[in-house]
Amino acid sequence: MEHEKLAAKKRLIIFIALTIVLAWIVFLLAPICGLTYGSGAAVIILAVAMFMPALSNLLTRLITKEGFGNMYLRPHFKGHVKEYLLLYFGPTVLLLLSGALYFLIFPGSFDPQLTTLKGMVASNGKQGLDVSKMLIVQTLIFVLIGPIVNIIPTMGEELGWRGYLLPKLRIFLSDRTALIITGAIWGIWHLPVIVMGHNYGTGYWGYPWLGILAMIVFCVALGIIEGYISIKLESVIPAAMIHSTVNAGAALPIIFAKSGYNPILGPAITGLIGGLPFSVLAVILLIKAGRNMTLGKNEAHRQDEGPLGQK
């Protein structure tokens, strides 16, 4: 058992080192190439970086001769139809609640004239469009396809975070602690892009440290939610669905906000206030997860079969 834990620890170190080094190299290509954050080329680079956790999962398995069993790719639909229906629509409801809560706390930030959306339409040369109807259509599209529209790149991340890092941490730690640490590492992984302006821009007070802190808080909360359901269904697909919905609609509340808001607070769900509903749900799930270690001796052995785990 101790030999198996040592093998798992080595794999953890290799995976974390690989996923951070590889992703940060890709992230840094944008400023090295002189690309402006948000430009088409920069977006492509960031999308490529999303596959580094999955690549690190595969490389770690190859380097340590772990094999490719237990990749958590089976969806386990049978007997879990209700859970998948909740997964499909629940994150959208949570996201809409997040925006509503922010504007209840900061009513002066709400812009019923949709100035931001009108500006976006005008900048794309589409003057004359009815922005209200456009918003309704976009919201319906988001609700219907949000969980699948980004699922390929989000699988690129989730195969690493919830498909490798979390199960390995659960060999040593309680589910509660493993969920928190997985989220924290996920947040730190974003550090270069937060410095570049991802989610928060660069003009806020406390740049970049407050942005980095806010991102870690958000990733811990979202990571607990994704990790909890991944543990329950023994699959990374639910996590990828939630992640896809979040990526599709994270900035939706900004459309309703007047200029001058503090991005560290909101209205996007990555803000400390904007993301409160996610944080509350994360705390509830964390309490339910408890202090127990649900990966016992047999599961630890099953996860770490292979040369490093052989006696």
Which is more confident, 140 or 78?
78
Q: What is the band of 61 on the pLDDT scale with cuts at 50, 70, 90?
A: very high
Looking at residues 33-43, what average pLDDT do you find? 91
Whether residue 39 lies inside any domain: the answer is yes
- pTM exceeding the 0.85 threshold for the entire prediction: yes
Domain of residue 11 covers 2-305
Whether residue 145 lies inside any domain: the answer is yes
Residue 308 has pLDDT above 70, yes or no: no
pLDDT in tens, 108-152: 999 988 888 777 776 666 666 677 777 887 788 887 888 898 999
Whether residue 222 lies inside any domain: the answer is yes
> Tokens for 90?
């629940």
Residue type, 157: E
- Phi then psi for residue 201, to 5 deg, are 75, -160
Least confident among 51-55, 158-162, 211-215, 295-299: 295-299
Number of structural domains the chain divides into:
1
pLDDT score of 213: 98
Exposed / middle / buried, residue 108 (Cβ in 10 Å: 0-12, 13-18, 19+): exposed
pLDDT in tens, 95-109: 999 999 999 999 999
Residue 293 has pLDDT above 80, yes or no: no
pLDDT in tens, 248-269: 988 789 989 998 999 999 999 9
Q: What is the band of 290 on the pLDDT scale with cuts at 50, 70, 90?
A: confident
Whether residue 311 lies inside any domain: the answer is no
Residue 299 has pLDDT above 70, yes or no: no
pLDDT score of 295: 55
Looking at residues 78-82, what average pLDDT do you find? 91
Whether residue 310 lies inside any domain: the answer is no
Whether residue 211 lies inside any domain: the answer is yes
Which of the given ranges, 65-79, 81-95, 181-195, has the highest pLDDT on average? 181-195
pLDDT score of 127: 63
Looking at residues 45-51, what average pLDDT do you find? 97
